[in-house]
């Protein structure tokens, strides 16, 4: 495809309620969107970088800067481009996986729309409906947590993930198990809040029959995760430690995980996410799709990815109203415990013009 222009939209999406993890509390989603135009089609991408650098070294202002100064100019100078060519084309810029992922997503969307093919079909999906789990943030009290979990189960979510941190771990998990029973699919996410010295404490979670404990240790401590996996019965799932197919293969070889959470916007894009899926499948390691408060654009792509065959655990592909009163696109609605995979060309969704205009704070356009 020949790319004519790329527009970068800074948007602010208020959350329906504050979302607290061990890293802090979010009140709105400050997102960066990529709108790419070719003579044949238009493509959209979404950057998952946060408002600050507390989760990752990438943050939204930095992502916009590297896109404007380095990544988009390289793409425009290439003349013609295909989605598989984006990563090699941008390889001269070190890191910045979230920014690169947004640009690749927009190229892939435009390419698939040109050919009348859905994102799901392009990635190799095998399902048209995927089970949906929900991530429940840290609360001020256990009764508040129990009310929140009850509400999500009543809505039909098939899996509950509890955010945990030191001081908010064993007792909340115990309370949820006692209130809702052993049949509820339950897992926890530590967001790197613990160290290997906490292994004995984390082993206190073993009796609760959790699906997994996600990223308990620092993202660079892969050997520590391998040792932790030997000390606890709860399966260890890696998230932030897995940044590529190569890192996934290394972690699996070291015994650092039994499960992998794939966040495509964090690993460099949906094509690398598919490669991680394939590496895990080849090694008998199940995967699930994580979420990063995406708008309907990123949500559509995540649902398509979650329809690949080795996504055998429910992911954080929740309905739009889990985070937004009004989504950027037509809302994703929970049905039969999951979400329908968009079947239209490309992402199958696009921003609603009135909503986009309301939430946009700035637009920068670059032309070839």
The three state secondary structure string of 115-142 is CCCEHHHHHCCCCCEEEEEEEECCCCCH
- Which residue's entry shows tokens 């460099």? 268
Overall number of domains in the chain: 2
pLDDT of 28-65, one tens digit each? 889 999 999 999 999 999 999 998 888 899 999 999 99
Parent domain of 71 = 5-116+349-367
Provide the mean pLDDT of the chain.
Answer: 96
- Identify the active-site residue in 94, 100, 161, 163: 163
pLDDT at 350: 97
What CATH number should be reported for the domain holding residue 100? 3.30.390.10
**Does the structure show a pLDDT above 90 at 22?**
no
- Identify the active-site residue in 94, 100, 161, 263: 263
309 and 161 in a common domain: yes
Half-sphere exposure of 1 (CA within 13 A, CB side): 29
What CATH number should be reported for the domain holding residue 168? 3.20.20.120
* Annotation marks residue 100 as catalytic: no
Query: Would you place residue 100 in the very low, low, confident or very high pLDDT band (cuts 50, 70, 90)?
Result: very high
pLDDT of 329-344, one tens digit each? 999 999 999 999 999 9
Judge contact between 117 and 353, C-beta under 8 A.
Answer: no
143 and 109 in a common domain: no
pLDDT of 105-141, one tens digit each? 999 999 999 999 999 999 999 999 999 999 999 999 9
109 and 170 in a common domain: no
* Annotation marks residue 263 as catalytic: yes
107 and 242 in a common domain: no
194 and 74 in a common domain: no
Query: Would you place residue 79 in the very low, low, confident or very high pLDDT band (cuts 50, 70, 90)?
Result: confident
**Does the structure show a pLDDT above 80 at 348?**
yes
């Amino acid at each position: 495809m020949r790319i004519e222009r790329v527009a970068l939209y800074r948007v602010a999406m208020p959350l329906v309620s504050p979302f607290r993890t061990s890293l802090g509390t979010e009140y709105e989603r400050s997102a960066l969107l990529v709108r790419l135009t070719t003579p044949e089609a238009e493509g959209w991408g979404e950057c998952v970088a946060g408002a600050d650098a507390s989760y990752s070294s990438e943050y939204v202002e930095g992502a916009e800067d590297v896109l404007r100064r380095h990544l988009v100019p390289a793409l425009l100078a290439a003349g013609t481009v295909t989605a598989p060519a984006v990563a090699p084309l941008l390889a001269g810029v070190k890191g910045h996986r979230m920014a690169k992922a947004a640009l690749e997503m927009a190229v892939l969307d435009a390419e698939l729309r040109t050919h009348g093919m859905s994102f799901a079909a392009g990635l190799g999906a095998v399902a048209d409906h995927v089970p949906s789990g929900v991530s429940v943030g840290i609360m001020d009290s256990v009764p508040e947590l129990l009310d929140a979990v009850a509400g999500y189960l009543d809505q039909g979510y098939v899996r509950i993930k509890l955010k945990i941190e030191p001081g908010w771990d064993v007792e909340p998990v115990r309370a949820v198990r006692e209130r809702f029973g052993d049949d509820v699919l339950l897992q926890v996410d530590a967001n790197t809040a613990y160290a290997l010295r906490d292994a004995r404490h984390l082993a206190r979670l073993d009796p609760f029959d959790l699906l997994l404990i996600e990223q308990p240790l620092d993202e660079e401590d892969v050997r520590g995760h391998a040792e932790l996996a030997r000390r606890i019965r709860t399966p260890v799932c890696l998230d932030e430690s897995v940044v590529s197919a190569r890192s996934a293969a290394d972690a699996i070889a070291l015994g650092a995980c039994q499960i992998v959470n794939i966040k495509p916007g964090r690993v460099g894009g949906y094509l690398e996410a598919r490669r991680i899926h394939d590496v895990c499948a080849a090694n008998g390691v199940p995967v699930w799709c994580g979420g990063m408060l995406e708008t309907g654009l990123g949500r559509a792509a995540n649902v398509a990815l979650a329809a690949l065959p080795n996504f055998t655990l429910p992911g954080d592909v929740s309905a739009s109203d889990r985070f937004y009163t009004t989504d950027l696109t037509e809302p994703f609605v929970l049905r039969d415990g999951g979400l329908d995979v968009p079947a239209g060309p490309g992402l199958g969704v696009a921003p609603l013009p009135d909503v986009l205009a309301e939430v946009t704070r700035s637009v920068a356009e670059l032309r070839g």
